[in-house]
């Protein structure tokens, strides 16, 4: 049903509005793509919980690793060396939240 509606909508836009509208939409989309290619963590309206959480986790780990005082802080707290802490965080950046949940609709 949604597909159908969308199709009609697309049809209408191409036939009525002419190519300007279409190119505009293309522009916005391509802008978004460009943005996401450049900044991996940016989101969009269809982002789901898991994807966002992954971004959050990665950003956090990156931030810890990037700030030496924070690393030192964690190192004191966990009684580890700073290097170890850094290594751990880097490792966690792979699959920070585990495997993605299976898609319901697929």
Partner 1 sequence: MASTDSEIANTQEERKKMEQQLASLTSVTFDVDLYGGGSDTRFDGYERSIAVNEDDDVPDAGESEVARKLASYTAPKSVLKEMPRGVGEDDNGGDLGGFKKPQKIIDREDDYRRRRLNRMISPDRNDAFAMGDKTPDVSVRTYADVMKEEALKREKEETLREIAKKKKEEEELKGKGGPERGSRDDGAAAAAAPSQKRRNRWDQNQELDGGAKKAKTLSSAAAAASSDWDMPDSTPGIGRWDATPTPGRAADATPSISRRNRWDETPTPGRVADADATPAAGGATPGATPSGMTWDATPKLAGTATPTPKRQRSRWDETPATMGSATPMPGATPAAAYTPGVTPVGGVDMATPTPGAINLRGAITPEQYNLLRWEKDIEERNRPLTDEELDAMFPQEGYKILDPPASYVPIRTPARKLLATPTPLGTPLYQIPEENRGQQFDVPKEAPGGLPFMKPEDYQYFGALLNEDEEEKLTPEEQKERKIMKLLLKVKNGTPPQRKTALRQLTDKAREFGAGPLFNRILPLLMQPTLEDQERHLLVKVIDRVLYKLDELVRPFVHKILVVIEPLLIDEDYYARVEGREIISNLSKAAGLATMIAAMRPDIDNIDEYVRNTTARAFSVVASALGIPALLPFLKAVCQSKKSWQARHTGIKIVQQIAILIGCAVLPHLRSLVEIIEHGLNDENQKVRTITALSLAALAEASAPYGIESFDSVLKPLWKGIRSHRGKVLAAFLKAIGFIIPLMDAIYASYYTKEVMFILIREFQSPDEEMKKIVLKVVKQCVSTEGVEADYIRSDILPEFFRNFWVRRMALDRRNYKQLVETTVEIANKVGVADIVGRIVEDLKDESEPYRRMVMETIEKVVANLGASDIDARLEELLIDGILYAFQEQTSDDANVMLNGFGAVVNSLGQRVKPYLPQICGTIKWRLNNKSAKVRQQAADLISRIAVIMTQCHEEQLMGHLGVVLYEYLGEEYPEVLGSILGALKAIVNVIGMTKMTPPIKDLLPRLTPILKNRHEKVQENCIDLVGRIADRGAEFVPAREWMRICFELLEMLKAHKKGIRRATVNTFGYIAKAIGPQDVLATLLNNLKVQERQNRVCTTVAIAIVAETCSPFTVLPALMNEYRVPELNVQNGVLKSLSFLFEYIGEMGKDYIYAVTPLLEDALMDRDLVHRQTAASAVKHMALGVAGLGCEDALVHLLNYGLFHPARKVREVYWKIYNSLYIGAQDTLVAAYPILEDEENNIFRRPELAILLFNCSVTVSFSCSLFSFIVDMVELFRAAVNSFDDQPFFVLKNYVGDGASSSSVSMLNDSMRVSNSISLCCIICEDGKVVKFLESEGARRGAWTKGIVLGVEMTIWASKGAPK
To partner 1, the closest distance from the beta carbon of 11 in angstroms equals 19
DSSP, res 102? P
* Number of Cβ atoms within 10 Å of the Cβ of 75: 16
- Size of residue set near partner 1 by CB under 8 A: 33
CB of 74 to partner 1, least distance (A): 6
CB-based contact 90:61 (threshold 8 Å) = yes
Radius of gyration of the chain (CA): 21
CB of 41 to partner 1, least distance (A): 6
Using rule CB under 8 A, residue 23 touches partner 1: no
CA atoms of 14 and 32, how far apart (whole Å):
21
Residues within the interface to partner 1 (CB under 8 A): 35, 39, 41-45, 47, 49-50, 53, 56-57, 59-60, 63-64, 66, 73-82, 96-99, 101
């Amino acid at each position: 049903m949604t597909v159908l509606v969308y199709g009609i909508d697309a049809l209408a836009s191409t036939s009525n509005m002419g190519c300007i509208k279409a190119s505009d939409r293309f522009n916005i989309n391509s802008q978004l793509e460009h943005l996401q290619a450049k900044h991996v963590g940016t989101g969009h309206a269809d982002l789901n919980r898991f994807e966002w959480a992954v971004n959050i986790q990665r950003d956090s780990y990156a931030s810890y690793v990037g700030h030496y005082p924070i690393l030192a802080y964690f190192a004191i707290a966990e009684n580890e060396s700073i290097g170890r802490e850094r290594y751990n965080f880097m490792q966690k950046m792979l699959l920070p939240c585990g495997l993605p949940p299976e898609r319901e609709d697929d």
